[in-house]
């Protein structure tokens, strides 16, 4: 738990992690211990097809969760991985179920359905256009840049979806497997939420985008009329992303930057921002609908 630059309490949260219950290399107790020592307040343990209830493990709060993956390994056929978070009861789903059936069941159980690593899965906006009930999507997935794959960043996917009017809360998480040490305690969300918030309150805070996603830097985005401003901890690059493929003043580079502003164009329908610090660690704002 930290106070951000505006004095707001933030919980440090990783919503995607695997253990020896599926294809992770550490037990839940070992994983929780590592995240607790790294200053996290909450993690979700999301083993494949195995729903874990909420609780406390090694002194760390666990948000209930699982990951339901369908479509095998061929991206041309439609690969979907959904996190089910905070369900009141375990979803009753099977590996033969369709993506929509899984989404419906997660929502029926009161959970948040997160589209995991769309870039890694080669998901297109067209593949997800007909799906309802996606509550959030990952913009960054650490393990997708660790070990044996290199598509961690889903910014192009979320921007193309936003061009179609579908704006999701943008989560960064580790998808920890403990493959090689590079997929743990790297990416998280910093959630504006009371420390004693219920599971439901945590889900609600995610749904209303009361967080920023980060690997270290702090980032906040504000709109005032036709001006949009980013405030952040010291970084070396601040960029804006919208449905404008090009516009002035959308990227600034330098040392110890803590603010950047841009003026909106009349046709812009959404905007978001990213910041990168001198060590290459990134932060992602949520999307402002204009
Ligand atoms: Zn996955
Ligand atoms: Zn996963």
Which of the ligands is closest to the CA of residue 44?
Answer: 2
Q: How far is the CA of 175 from the centre of ligand 1 (A)?
A: 7
Q: Are residues 225 and 276 in the same domain?
A: yes
Q: Are residues 21 and 136 in the same domain?
A: yes
CA distances from 270 to 115, 205, 228, 275 (A): 20, 20, 11, 18
Residue 180, pLDDT score: 84
pLDDT digits (tens, 9 = 90+) for 136-146: 999 999 999 98
Q: How far is the CA of 256 from the centre of ligand 2 (A)?
A: 34
> Which among 101, 245, 238 is positioned nearest to 163, based on CA atoms?
245
Q: How far is the CA of 62 from the centre of ligand 2 (A)?
A: 16
Examine the fold and report which residue of 214, 237, 252 is the final residue of a domain before the chain moves on.
214
Residue 246, pLDDT score: 94
Residue 146, pLDDT score: 86
Residue 237, pLDDT score: 98
pLDDT digits (tens, 9 = 90+) for 121-174: 999 999 999 999 999 999 999 999 987 789 999 999 999 999 999 999 999 999
Residue 22 belongs to what domain range?
A: 2-214
Q: How far is the CA of 16 from the centre of ligand 2 (A)?
A: 6
> Which among 119, 115, 186 is positioned nearest to 150, based on CA atoms?
119
Report yes or no: 257 and 237 within 8 Å, Cβ to Cβ. Answer: yes
Average pLDDT across the chain, whole number: 97
Q: Are residues 56 and 85 in the same domain?
A: yes
Which of the ligands is closest to the CA of residue 24?
Answer: 2
Q: Are residues 36 and 94 in the same domain?
A: yes
Q: Are residues 209 and 252 in the same domain?
A: no
Number of domains the chain contains: 2
pLDDT digits (tens, 9 = 90+) for 251-268: 999 999 999 999 999 999
User: With bands split at pLDDT 50, 70 and 90, how would you rate the model's confidence at 274?
Assistant: very high
Q: Are residues 149 and 22 in the same domain?
A: yes
With tokens 């095998």, the residue in question is 72
Q: Are residues 106 and 189 in the same domain?
A: yes
pLDDT digits (tens, 9 = 90+) for 62-83: 999 999 999 988 999 899 999 9
Q: How far is the CA of 288 from the centre of ligand 2 (A)?
A: 27
Q: Are residues 140 and 240 in the same domain?
A: no
Q: How far is the CA of 230 from the centre of ligand 2 (A)?
A: 31
For the entire predicted model, the pTM comes to 0.97
Examine the fold and report which residue of 214, 241, 272 is the final residue of a domain before the chain moves on.
214
Examine the fold and report which residue of 165, 180, 214 is the final residue of a domain before the chain moves on.
214
User: Can you give the CATH number for the domain in which 243 is found?
Assistant: 2.60.40
Q: Are residues 34 and 140 in the same domain?
A: yes
Which of the ligands is closest to the CA of residue 47?
Answer: 2
Q: Are residues 236 and 270 in the same domain?
A: yes
Q: Are residues 79 and 19 in the same domain?
A: yes
User: Can you give the CATH number for the domain in which 164 is found?
Assistant: 3.20.20.140
Q: Are residues 105 and 248 in the same domain?
A: no
């Amino acid at each position: 738990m930290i106070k951000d630059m505006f004095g707001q309490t933030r919980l440090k949260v990783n919503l995607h992690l695997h253990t020896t219950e599926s294809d992770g290399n550490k037990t839940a107790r070992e994983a929780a211990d590592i995240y607790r020592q790294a200053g996290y307040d909450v993690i979700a343990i999301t083993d494949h097809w195995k729903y874990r209830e909420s609780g406390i493990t090694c002194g760390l709060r666990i948000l209930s969760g699982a990951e339901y993956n369908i479509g095998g390994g061929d991206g041309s056929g439609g690969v979907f991985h959904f996190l089910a978070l905070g369900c009141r009861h375990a979803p009753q789903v099977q590996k033969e179920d369709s993506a929509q059936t899984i989404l419906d069941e997660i929502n029926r159980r009161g959970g948040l359905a997160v589209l995991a690593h769309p870039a890694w899965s080669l998901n297109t906006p067209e593949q997800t256009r007909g799906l309802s009930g996606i509550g959030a999507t990952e913009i960054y997935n650490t393990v997708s840049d660790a070990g044996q794959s290199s598509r961690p960043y889903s910014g192009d996917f979320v921007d193309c979806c936003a061009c179609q009017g579908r704006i999701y809360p943008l989560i960064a998480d580790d998808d920890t497997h403990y493959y090689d040490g590079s997929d743990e305690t790297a990416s998280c969300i910093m959630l504006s939420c009371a420390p004693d918030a219920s599971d439901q309150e945590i889900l609600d805070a995610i749904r209303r985008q009361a967080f920023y996603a980060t690997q270290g830097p702090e980032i906040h985005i504000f709109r005032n009329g036709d001006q949009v401003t980013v405030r952040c901890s010291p970084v070396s690059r601040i960029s804006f992303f919208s449905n404008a493929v090009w516009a002035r003043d959308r990227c600034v580079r330098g040392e110890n930057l803590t603010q950047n502003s841009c003026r909106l164009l009349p046709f812009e329908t959404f905007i978001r921002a990213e910041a990168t610090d001198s060590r290459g660690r990134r932060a992602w704002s949520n999307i402002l609908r204009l």
